[in-house]
Amino acid sequence: MSTYDYDLFVIGVGSGGTRAARMAASTGARVAAAESSWLGGTCVNVGCVPKKLLVYGSHFSEDVEDAKAYGWDLKIEGFDWSRLIENKNTEIARLNGVYRRLLDNAGVELFETHAEIIDRHTVQVGDRTITTDKLLIATGGWPTMPDLPGIEHAVSSNEVFYLESFPKRFVVVGGGYIALEFAGIMKGMGAEVTQIYRGEQILRGFDGDVRETVASEVRKKGIDLRTGVNIWEIEKHDGTLLAKLTDGTEIVADCIMYATGRHPRIDGFGLEKLGLEITKQGAIKVDDYSRTSLDNVWAIGDVTHRMALTPVAIHEAMAFYRTEFLGDPTPVDHADIPSAVFSQPPVGSVGLTEEQAREAHGELDIYRSTFTPMKHTLTGRDEKTLMKIIVDQKSQKVVGVHMVGPDAGEIIQGIAIAVKMGATKQDFDRTIGIHPTAAEEFVTMRETAA
Ligand code: NDP
């Protein structure tokens, strides 16, 4: 029997911390956890969950327009941002409760307060000094705001979910996941949206065809996507914001949001006392099992800056639990992780981009298909779906699959199983399609692209 108060102490109960704490406790280990802000972390409170609800909310304007071709005469009477935010907040509060119960039912002692690390086996929680055998840091990440004059007038993804009124003129800075998602959300809800991206093409790191397709589709939807430009100063005049751009132009806005990346949360809880190795990106350095440079201290999720995705944090939590509590050393597997950008239209991707695949495999067979989603054959909406399969020519293994179009996330999740299993193009070919779906295109593409 250990002489410590607990076998495991977890700092931060987001997706990863909660899973690790619950699973460890299920083995009979004595587990405690501390959380100073939101139960459920970024994903539940200011990330995936509320974002997806807002994406749903933003779709109705197009759906009502599209309904006409299907015989419906519908009229939009208005849009009430406050009602949507209130309903969203009710759902988040319910989920906070679910997290509290999950931990409680698992027998995890939860301290809903700040925890301060004293040393590798000691944590201060309020006026209690607690000792622990193992320490798991799962403090997540935080939006990064660049330093420029007037940045205090801008919001990040933390505040945008709680805006008191709907911003009719919305500016979003960034060309990644969050910027695209919010450009689509605000556009769908009726705002005039400008998206500012400093580089040449949005979605750096994604497949080239995906990047081009998304840029073209969001522009068709009326988002003023400006590339190769940045904001250098923000001024506030009587509640209205003025963004001054590096190309000499100015934009008047009700809200300017920065979606310029997220950084690991390593400050403010005594981490420096441990002297852990920190990476160039300011993340806690861990090995393949999520162990830090101290053998009883572990870190998972966004604080390690490996892949800032909820299911990845959960996977890392499970690998930690298996390794430390089941005696089954389990390295984290970061290969072929699918992801989606809930832009409009959305993106789904798994495996390598064409650019990465060329570097890794040399000769490739590329299958590409672009078509109008069936729904829009009646509505006449000018929207294109892109599907792309990247195959290593020699082995015929499918090494990357990408899609831009309705339900891309749902479709790619299924395809990701095949890719993870090492499916070949011939495996795709001998799979029968489901007709009529968009997804069947993935098993019927026969001609390689030029
Ligand atoms: P991303 O890293 O995806 O994108 C950041 C964007 O901001 C890039 O376009 C980057 O440009 C730009 N940028 C960075 N610094 C500056 C600056 N100083 N001035 C102007 N532009 C700048 O980060 P996000 O904030 O969108 O999201 C953070 C992470 O959260 C994602 O990487 C993802 O892991 C996760 N996430 C996942 C979601 C999902 O799964 N659907 C949804 C939301 C977030 P450049 O390309 O030139 O570097």
Read off the tokens for 202.
């949005």
* Tokens of residue 206, six digits: 């994604």
Q: Is the CB of 160 under 6 A from ligand 1?
A: no
Task: State residue 23's pLDDT score.
Answer: 98
Kindly report the protein residue whose alpha carbon is nearest to atom 13 of ligand 1. Answer: 260
User: What length is written for the chain?
Assistant: 450
Which atom of ligand 1 lies closest to the CA of 259?
Answer: 25
Best mutation site among 44, 49, 160, 177 for ligand 1 pocket (most ligand atoms within 8 Å of CB):
177
SS3 111: strand
- Say if ligand 1 is within 6 A of residue 260 CB: yes
> What's the confidence (pLDDT) of residue 216?
98
Distance from C-alpha of 307 to C-alpha of 17, rounded to nearest angstrom:
15
**pLDDT the model gives residue 158:** 98
Cβ–ligand 1 contact at 309 (below 6 Å):
yes
Max alpha carbon distance in the chain (Å)?
72
Per-residue confidence in pLDDT tens, the chain, 450 aa: 689 999 999 999 999 999 999 999 999 999 999 999 999 999 999 999 999 999 999 999 999 999 999 999 999 999 999 999 999 999 999 999 999 999 999 999 999 999 999 999 999 999 999 999 999 999 999 999 999 999 999 999 999 999 999 999 999 999 999 999 999 999 999 999 999 999 999 999 999 999 999 999 999 999 999 999 999 999 999 989 999 999 999 999 999 999 999 999 999 999 999 999 999 999 999 999 999 999 999 999 999 999 999 999 999 999 999 999 999 999 999 999 999 999 999 999 999 999 999 999 999 999 999 999 999 999 999 999 999 999 999 999 999 999 999 999 999 999 999 999 999 999 999 999 999 999 999 999 999 997
Distance CA 20, CA 108 (A): 11
**Cα(227) to centroid of ligand 1, in Å?**
15
Q: Is the CB of 174 under 6 A from ligand 1?
A: yes
CB of 282 closer than 6 angstroms to any ligand 1 atom: no
Q: Which atom, in ligand 1's list, is nearest to the CA of 180?
A: 26
Assess whether the C-beta atom of 262 lies below 6 angstroms from ligand 1. Answer: yes
Residue 201 CA, ligand 1 centroid: distance in Å: 13
C-alpha 208/C-alpha 202 separation (Å) is 10
Ligand 1 pocket test: which of 148, 262, 265 has the largest number of ligand atoms within 8 Å of its C-beta?
262
Q: Give the Å distances, CA to CA, from 258 to 21, 172, 174, 329.
A: 33, 6, 7, 40
H or E stretch at 251: strand 250-253
| Residue in the block written with tokens 């459920």 | 40
Residue type, 287: D
- Which of the listed residues 156, 198, 245 should we mutate to test ligand 1's pocket, taking the one with most ligand atoms within 8 A of CB? 198
Selecting among 305, 315, 361, 435, the annotated active-site residue is 435
Nearest partner of 210 among 173, 187, 260, 176, judged by Cα = 176
Name beta bridge partners: 257: 155, 172
Q: What is the pLDDT of residue 333?
A: 96
Whole-number Å distance between alpha carbons of 403 and 389: 9
How buried is residue 193: exposed, middle or buried, by Cβ count under 10 Å (0-12/13-18/19+)?
Answer: buried
52 C-beta closer than 6 A to ligand 1: no
- CA of 210: how far to CAs of 82, 172, 216, 348, 353, in Å? 34, 20, 10, 9, 9
Closest atom, ligand 1, to C-alpha of 178: 26
Which protein residue's CA is at the shortest distance from atom 35 of ligand 1? 308
Place of tokens 């994903």: 43
What is the token pair recorded at 80?
Answer: 């009430």
Give the per-residue pLDDT at 2: 81
Distance 24 CA to ligand 1 centre (A): 33
Q: How far apart are CA 429 and CA 434, in angstroms?
A: 13
Instruction: Tell whether ligand 1 has an atom less than 6 A from the beta carbon of residue 264.
Output: no
On whether the CB atoms of residues 39 and 99 are closer than 8 A, the answer is yes
Q: Counting Cβ atoms within 10 Å, is residue 92 exposed (0-12), middle (13-18) or buried (19+)?
A: buried
Cβ-in-10-Å burial (0-12, 13-18, 19+) of 233 comes to middle
pLDDT at position 222: 98
Bridge partners for 10 per DSSP? 33, 136
CA angle 20, 89, 35 (to 5 degrees): 30
Q: Is 218:343 a contact under the CB 8 Å cutoff? A: yes
> DSSP per residue over 134-193, as a string?
EEEE---EEE-----TTGGG-B-TTTGGG-SS--SEEEEE-SSHHHHHHHHHHHHTT-EE
What gap in Å lies between CA 443 and CA 389, rounded to an integer?
10
pLDDT score of 1: 62
Tracing tokens 């749902």 back to the chain, one arrives at 410
Name residue 327's amino acid. Answer: G
CA of 403 from ligand 1 middle (Å) equals 20
Using the mean position of ligand 1's atoms as its centre, give its distance from the Cα of residue 203 in Å: 8
Closest ligand 1 atom to Cα of 157: 25
Using the mean position of ligand 1's atoms as its centre, give its distance from the Cα of residue 174 in Å: 6
- Both tokens of 15, joined, read 């997706």
User: What pLDDT, on a 0 to 100 scale, did the predictor assign at position 450?
Assistant: 75
Does the beta carbon of 179 lie inside 6 Å of ligand 1? yes
Decide if 435 is catalytic: yes
Task: Convert 206-231 into a string of H (helix), E (strand) and C (coil).
Answer: CCHHHHHHHHHHHHHCCCEEEECCCE
Q: What DSSP letter does each residue of 11-41 carry, written as one string? A: E--SHHHHHHHHHHHHTT--EEEE-SS-TTH
